[in-house]
Structure 1
Amino acid sequence: MAVAALKSVIRRKVEDRLDRAAQAHLGDTLSRVDFTAPAGEAALSPPDSVSWRIFKNPVTLFIGGVAAVILELAEPRVRTGVWAHSSFRTDPVGRLKRTGLAAMVTVYGPKSQAEAMIAKINAVHDRISGVTPDGTPYRASDPELLTWVQATASFGFLEAYSAYAAPLSEAERNRFYADSGAGAALYGAVNAPRSLAEQTALFAAMTPKLEASDIIFEFLSIMKKAEAFPHPAQFAQHSLVRAAVDLVPAKIRQKVGLEARHGLRPFEGRVVKRMARRADRLVLRSGPAASACRRLGLPEDYLYRRS
């Protein structure tokens, strides 16, 4: 018993130290939303959903997010809109934090706050339009483009978690896509995949429309250097970006010019999995996942018991 108690104390101290480091790194980003209130208010998805399980892991969220953006930037209309109307080049960390907050609110936030936030994001998208370098017009509110962005994000987060933190079954993948439907519809992605089969079909249909671009490689370079994690985790960031490249389906990697040298080296795979699996067991008590559990009257380690 004494040994178990000592391990528990040490674990709590480690978690608290990491929690403080995460708070300091994020600044006031997460403080904009109180995930603990109003007490009892449900989120868009229930706490026993696959979404709640996977979005608690900051390592796989980063990997999956980078993979998603690679796929988005391969679509010329999305690429032009993102690169012309976002701050990826000038403020990559700020953009990452804002995007991460939106994801956290969509999954863990009270339904009323999630709906209000998504409405604001949609209003911004309604004002964005333009023309690609080859003369093709685009609108950020185009349901086809919104569906692609939603599908790539879902694919990235899901597959990163399954590949590096904990393997997910086909049934769990199907549940994840089904549970994501409510949030996707609010964002205007009315045809977002509701199953693994629909995701596979969408990717097959979109692959011929994708193309190589120097912007993809510029993005990857930015992500390797951006201070996305507190120290010392930043030392592994190059490996996490390469892990994201490996998630991109092989046909798409080939089409956009991502070669084997852009992916993980043999020893890096073990490092990434170790980081992801440890992150999946560490309770960050001030984070959205634990806070949302408290809002619903659940133990703050509820999701971690399920890992």
Structure 2
Amino acid sequence: MPVAELRSKIRRKVEDRLDRAAQVYLDDRALARADFSAPAGEASLSSPDSVSWRIFKNPVTLFIGGVAAVILELAEPRVRSGVWEHSNFRKDPVGRLKRTGLAAMITVYGARSEAETMIARINTVHDRISGVTPSGAPYHANDPELLTWVQATAAFGFLEAYSAYAFPLSDADRNRYYAESVKAAALYGASAAPRSLAGQEALFDVMTSKLEASDIVFEFLTIMKKAEAFPQPAQIAQHSLVRAAVELVPGNIRSILGLDRRYGLRPFEGRVVKRMARRADRLVLRSGPAATASRRLGLPDDYLYRRP
């Protein structure tokens, strides 16, 4: 058998095994399931050649970027109170991770009608969430300012995690990504979400003065290091992935939060994280949202795994 053919067969076996492991891990009856294969031919909010489709296929950088985004969200006191007081994150972190991940996948890869229906449900839930922070500041989950911060931090986290650990992105890629995200952001109510890299940087400059340290940030990091966020054996590297997320947070915000060098990557860990992320970026999970959505639109399973 030719070497190339042998390598292809071995690769396919590895991909199939990982695909089955992912299916077992995500097989949660309490988790709403989505059919990314239907309706056949229906477009998503973003096109298959978008930067979003490219980066959301990578489970390693999605985890890293998601953790970085939550760190930034928890730095804002009103967002922090809304998240920490009105969710079951502390009791069921893995279930919350799965549901949040599914929502992100539907937003990016789901048929537009499915994404719009899901986002409307989420907005209805947010309408009922309000309160007052420990310092006395009122908040409402559907406050456009807070929604814009949540949208911007999520976009920043996913984008920069992919660029730092999987495949470097140019500023042109970043500008395109933010422009592509406006449609979904508007549906979520984030009317002032950044439309460009300059817009993201400007928003971070404005919001930094409103951020503050909190023990909740450290509690969150401890939870994320212990939660079974990946199937075995990938959990072994989870501590490193959390530290990789801290590394993405802008230095001035890390200083505000008290996230010194102890919380960032050790020298050897950066190589490990990049190796994991780059391998994840090449493995085709045929039952996953990226491949299934590609088939819905008549594209091959490996459409998103071909290097530009």
For the criterion TM > 0.5, the same-fold answer is yes
Partner of 2:4: 4
Cα RMSD, aligned residues only:
1.0
Partner of 1:125: 126
Stretch of structure 1 that moved more, 27-36 or 97-106: 27-36
The Cα shift of 1:171 comes to: 0.2
Partner of 1:200: 201
- Looking at structure 1, the residues matched to 33 and 54 of structure 2 have their Cα atoms a distance apart, in angstroms, of 23
- Looking at structure 1, the residues matched to 286 and 216 of structure 2 have their Cα atoms a distance apart, in angstroms, of 37
Stretch of structure 1 that moved more, 21-30 or 178-187: 21-30
SS at match of 2:194: coil
The Cα shift of 1:87 comes to: 1.2
Q: Structure 1 residues 33, 210: CA separation in 2 closer, same or farther (over 3 Å shift)?
A: same
Q: Structure 1 residues 289, 242: CA separation in 2 closer, same or farther (over 3 Å shift)?
A: same
SS at match of 1:241: helix
Partner of 1:63: 64
- Looking at structure 1, the residues matched to 131 and 22 of structure 2 have their Cα atoms a distance apart, in angstroms, of 37
Tell whether 2:174 aligns with 1:173: yes
Matched residue count: 307
Question: Which amino acid in structure 1 is aligned with residue 207 of structure 2?
Answer: M
Partner of 1:106: 107
The Cα shift of 1:31 comes to: 7.0
- Looking at structure 2, the residues matched to 31 and 251 of structure 1 have their Cα atoms a distance apart, in angstroms, of 38
1:181-260 aligned at under 5 Å gives the runs: 181-260=182-261
Tell whether 2:264 aligns with 1:263: yes
The Cα shift of 1:306 comes to: 3.1
Partner of 2:26: 26
Partner of 2:94: 93
Q: Alpha-carbon deviations, 1:189-229, whole Å to 9, x = none?
A: 00000000000000000000000000000000000000000
1:131-170 aligned at under 5 Å gives the runs: 131-170=132-171
Runs (4+) of structure 1 moved beyond 2 Å?
Answer: 28-31
Partner of 1:275: 276
The Cα shift of 1:88 comes to: 1.1
Q: Which blocks of at least 5 consecutive residues in structure 1 are unaligned?
A: none
The Cα shift of 1:27 comes to: 1.1
- Looking at structure 1, the residues matched to 78 and 228 of structure 2 have their Cα atoms a distance apart, in angstroms, of 28
Question: Which amino acid in structure 1 is aligned with residue 42 of structure 2?
Answer: E
Question: Which amino acid in structure 2 is aligned with residue 258 of structure 1?
Answer: L
SS at match of 1:138: strand
TM-score normalized by structure 1? 0.99
Q: Which blocks of at least 5 consecutive residues in structure 2 are unaligned?
A: none
- Looking at structure 2, the residues matched to 159 and 53 of structure 1 have their Cα atoms a distance apart, in angstroms, of 13
